[in-house]
Amino acid sequence: MFIINMRNKVIAVSLTVLLLVTACTPIKGRLDSKEYDEYNVELNVDTSVPWPDAPDRIDNAFRASLLDFAWDLFQVSSENEGNILISPASVFLALGMTYNGSDSETRQAMMETLKAADLSLQEFNEACRDYISILRVMGGKTELSVANSIWYRQGFTISHDFLQTNANYFDARFQSLDFGKPAAIGTINKWVQTQTKNTIDRIIDEINPLTYMFLINAVYFKSDWKEPFDAANTRAKDFDSPDGSITVDFMNRTGEMDYFDNKGVQGVILPYDDGRFKFFAVLPEVNTDIRAFIYELDGAAILDYLMSVKRQDIVLSLPKFETRFEDRLNDELSGMGMAIAFDPNRADFSLMLDNPGKAKENLYIGEVRHKTFCRVDELGTEASAVTSVEMRTTGMIAEPETKLIFDRPFIYGIVDEVTGAPLFLGIMENPLEK
C-alpha cells in the first residue's frame, strides 16, 4: 500500500508531457477571431498557412533545452516563499517569440538562457512549432490548449518579418491597440480569460507609457483521472506545513499503482484518462528541507525517479488543493543569463522594428510576468498558465504493505511520456492556501 505524508514543505512540480499515440491532421485553426484576421490582412501577414502534421517526437536537442530550462527556472523560482507553481512551457514559448526579435549579445544571452546553443534559430523555431503541434494532439476527456498573441501600441513600426515568423512557428495572433485607452487592458485580459477558461482573469493591470508591446503565451490543461478518487473516501487529516500542523481534506485510494522508492524518496504516478498525461508526486524523506532537496537535483534526477517505478499495491492519501501563483520573473531570468535583455542601455531587440537602423529608441524587456493556477481533486486536474513579456522603449501486493501519505511538503507534477518536457512545476507548502 502507498501513502505519502506531507508534514514539511511541499514541492509541487507539475510536469505535463504529451504522449503522442496517433498522428494528427495539419493544424489549421489559429485563434478564431475575425478582428485579428482583418488586422493581420492589413499587415500583409499570412496566418492561414497550415502547419505540418505533428511529428512522433520532438528533436532531441530541443527536448534537452526544454528540460534544462524547466529545471533551472524551477530552482531559481523556488527561492520564493510559500507554494510555488510555474509553467516552464509557457515561459519558454513566450521567450521563444521574443527571441526572434533579439540580435547581437542579447540574442546570445537569450539562446544560453533557453539552453538552445545546439540549435540554429531556424531549428529552434521549427522545434517550437513541432512542440506546440504535439501538445495539441489530445484524446479522451483531456483538454490542452496552447495559444500565443502579440499586442502592440498603435503607430509602432513593427517588423513584418518578426510578425510573420511568430505566426508561422508559434501560431501567434497579433493586434495593435491604443495603449492610452483603458479598453486596451480589458481587451488583452479578455483574451487571457478565454484561453484559460476563466481560471486566470488578468495578466495586465496597467500599461506603462513606455510600453510598446506585449508577447503573451497561455496554456490550459484539464483532464480526469483514469481511476477517479471516491469522494466518499475523502477524509480530513493533518498536514505538516512550515507554519505548523493544519487540517486538510485528503483523497484516499487503495490498489495497484505506479510507485517508486529511490533512496528514501517516495513517489506515485497517476495516469489521466487519455493515457498520455500522468500526474506525479514526489515525497522527500521526513525532515528534509524541500528547497535544499530541489537544489540537489536536476531534471535528469527527476526523470530517474519516474523511470524507477514499479506496479505495487498502494494505500494512497493525497491532499486536495487549489493553488495560484504569480511572479515577476525579471530576477530569475537575469540570474539564468539574460540580464542584458532587461537593460535599457544594452538590450538589442532591433529585429522587432520595421526600420531598426533608423530607430530613435531602444527596446528592452520591461517585465516578464507569470501567473499559474492548479486544482487537484477527486475527479482530476485543471491547470493553466499565462506568461507576458512586456517590451518597453527607452524613449517612451504480496509484498509488504506500503503506505504513502502526502501529509508534508511534496513534489507533484503532470508528466508527458513522449517529450518529457514540463508544462508546470511548483512547490506546495499549504494545501489550504489559495
Higher pLDDT: 2 or 101? It is 101
H-assigned helices in 237-339: 290-295, 299-307, 330-333
Cell digits of residue 215 = 508577447
Nearest Cα neighbor of 217 from 288, 312, 151 is 151
Higher pLDDT: 42 or 140? It is 140
Name the least confident of 136-140, 244-248, 278-282, 389-393: 136-140
Q: What is the pLDDT of residue 52?
A: 81
CB-count exposure of residue 83 (10 Å: 0-12, 13-18, 19+): buried
Secondary structure of residue 251 in the 3-state scheme? strand
In which band, very low, low, confident or very high, does the pLDDT at 322 lie, cut at 50, 70 and 90?
very high
What's the rounded mean pLDDT across residues 394-407? 65
What's the rounded mean pLDDT across residues 43-68? 82
In this predicted structure, the answer to whether residue 303 has a pLDDT above a threshold of 80 is no
Cell digits of residue 413 = 507534477
**Global pTM value:** 0.86
Per-position b or e across 297-336, b if 16+ CB within 10 A of its CB: bebeebeebbeebeebbbbbbbbbbebbbebebbbbbbbb
What's the rounded mean pLDDT across residues 187-209? 97
Name the least confident of 164-168, 247-251, 417-421: 417-421
Q: What is the pLDDT of residue 32?
A: 37
In which band, very low, low, confident or very high, does the pLDDT at 87 lie, cut at 50, 70 and 90?
very high
In which band, very low, low, confident or very high, does the pLDDT at 48 lie, cut at 50, 70 and 90?
low
Name the least confident of 7-21, 101-115, 354-368: 7-21
In this predicted structure, the answer to whether residue 101 has a pLDDT above a threshold of 60 is yes
pLDDT tens per residue, range 307-319: 888 999 999 999 9
Q: Please report, for residues 100, 165, 173, 291, 355, the alpha-carbon distance to residue 168 in angstroms, rounded to integers and kept in the order given.
A: 12, 5, 10, 39, 21
Per-position b or e across 101-123, b if 16+ CB within 10 A of its CB: bbeeebbbbbbebbbbeebeeee
Q: What is the pLDDT of residue 30?
A: 38
Distance CA 254, CA 273 (A): 18
Ordered domains of the chain (ranges, CATH): 1-258+273-295+310-434 (3.30.497.10)
∠ CA 319-321-323, nearest 5°, is: 145
Name the least confident of 108-122, 342-356, 393-407: 393-407
In which band, very low, low, confident or very high, does the pLDDT at 35 lie, cut at 50, 70 and 90?
very low
CB-count exposure of residue 180 (10 Å: 0-12, 13-18, 19+): exposed
